[in-house]
Structure 1
């Protein structure tokens, strides 16, 4: 690692995802969101990251039995689901140094080796990159669905630690947060002993899922990012999130990724409610230029 220079070498992309977008009977919609993803891909290509730190949720697969708040992935593959191919993650060597540094900064970080990561990470990886298996990746899985959930403000603090730990890395770093915004997927509420829904429980959950989608709440978060309001996520309470559905807990990935990049004002935001996907679909991105002191 060498000393940083003054240039725009940190950037972020935050975006919603929904596995429903991959289903044939729900694919012919979400055009505004899909166009925004194409803008994000162009932004990433123009930025040319040397490392992509991807913070993503898990849906009770990797974190089914043990649920640390943050898990750094040293090696693994994508879980083949929702049309996502099985891909070996191209984990960048800087990941090991980052994970060690985070532990010394008192971040309670677990690590995973030889693990499968589900669509929380895999879907966004294949959306944003034409050659997802070649992306120089630092994957971090965030517990945003299983008991116990940590405060959103902590996601921001951990993101700041991630950014700080990479401050001396002399290369372009892209921080990606994926999940959210308001939505209530067919999963049980976080609680000890929670289990997956039966088909009947799943159908009942889906029947009322749109009641949780709150465009005003989603747009307010995007406006906060456009204003560079670093506290727009950390001010959220769990009650705020619960009213917008269990999937809204995934905004923790947004909070961490944006904070890691220095919380710069988003230069692009887009938002669309896609009812067949039962989700408020948002996209935001921007860059940050470090000072000579980092």
Structure 2
């Protein structure tokens, strides 16, 4: 039995609005290094915590958490598309273990995911079907959202399940740090967008998907020129969050208010809950030590962009 963790920010804008070649080379170097460490670990099971951006989960039914028993990536923003290799029996066992721990997670036998899941699976593992993967969705966008406390408890429950498998398990957490790209909100959406948010966006016509991509690209270009056009990035908050995660004191995050995080760091910053869940899962194996921390604010990607690896403390 062994375990490894890697958390990484994702961005739909990679290859569409990129930072300078120097910054891009730096990020690609960090990703390549993580990919090598994961390949050396050679996981027998991957458990990924990630959000959705109204491509698979909508307000017709919006769970706080959902465990995929089968999953398909939609391929938004040019990300990898297709079937994710989910071991159904293990995923069902994980769901039962989580429910028995008192965490009410939904299950899906037809989960649809977007770049939040597909990008790390593709760039870190070499594809959607390279390893057996249990995908776990965390609602990080649609109000009302789960608290940091509930996310931590979810991660701990998943970690206890994984620790009993006698397998090499890789935990992945996928999410941006401070950021607020132009994502529609139910409370302010027009009639057409509201219908999409209520579920019709699950099978978005190609022309609308292209227009959505173009809107985000346009917003990124404007943000690079003038960072008052969107909620500003908050490197101080990002670094403090990374410090807390590294300290192992995950319970300190329980006090964070969803509303306060939105105001201070942006409404999409709740994607850090994927990191919290992954580290909470790792904590079920005992104290951990971190390595290969990376952080940079990247306006071109409208995100505080980070990466961090961890494994149990060697005794």
Pick closer, same or farther for the CA change 1:114–1:43 going to 2, 3 Å. same
Q: Provide, for residues 153-173 of structure 1, a one-character-per-residue CA deviation record: whole Å limited to 9, x for no partner.
A: 211111001111222101111
Structure 1, unmatched stretches of 5+, are none
Pick closer, same or farther for the CA change 1:114–1:290 going to 2, 3 Å. farther
Pick closer, same or farther for the CA change 1:137–1:183 going to 2, 3 Å. same
Structure 2, unmatched stretches of 5+, are 198-210
2:274 is the alignment partner of 1:253: yes
> Contact conserved, 2:289 with 2:313, CA < 8 A, in 1?
no
Q: Provide, for residues 159-202 of structure 1, a one-character-per-residue CA deviation record: whole Å limited to 9, x for no partner.
A: 00111122210111111110120000111357597847998997
Aligned to 1:12: 5
Name whichever structure is richer in helix by fraction.
2
How many Å apart are 1:227 and its aligned residue? 2.8
Q: Provide, for residues 216-250 of structure 1, a one-character-per-residue CA deviation record: whole Å limited to 9, x for no partner.
A: 11111222233333235333222431121111011
Partner Cα separation in structure 2 for residue 22 and residue 282 of structure 1: 18
2:192 is the alignment partner of 1:168: no
> Contact conserved, 1:185 with 1:209, CA < 8 A, in 2?
no
**Alignment equivalent of 1:81, drawn from 76, 80, 101:** 76
TM-score, normalising length: structure 2: 0.81
Pick closer, same or farther for the CA change 1:192–1:232 going to 2, 3 Å. farther
Report the count of equivalent residues: 284
How many Å apart are 1:147 and its aligned residue? 1.8
Pick closer, same or farther for the CA change 1:232–1:218 going to 2, 3 Å. farther
**Alignment equivalent of 1:23, drawn from 16, 25, 34:** 16
Partner Cα separation in structure 2 for residue 163 and residue 43 of structure 1: 21
SS in 1 for 2:277: helix
> Contact conserved, 1:14 with 1:283, CA < 8 A, in 2?
yes
TM-score, normalising length: structure 1: 0.86
> Contact conserved, 2:43 with 2:131, CA < 8 A, in 1?
no
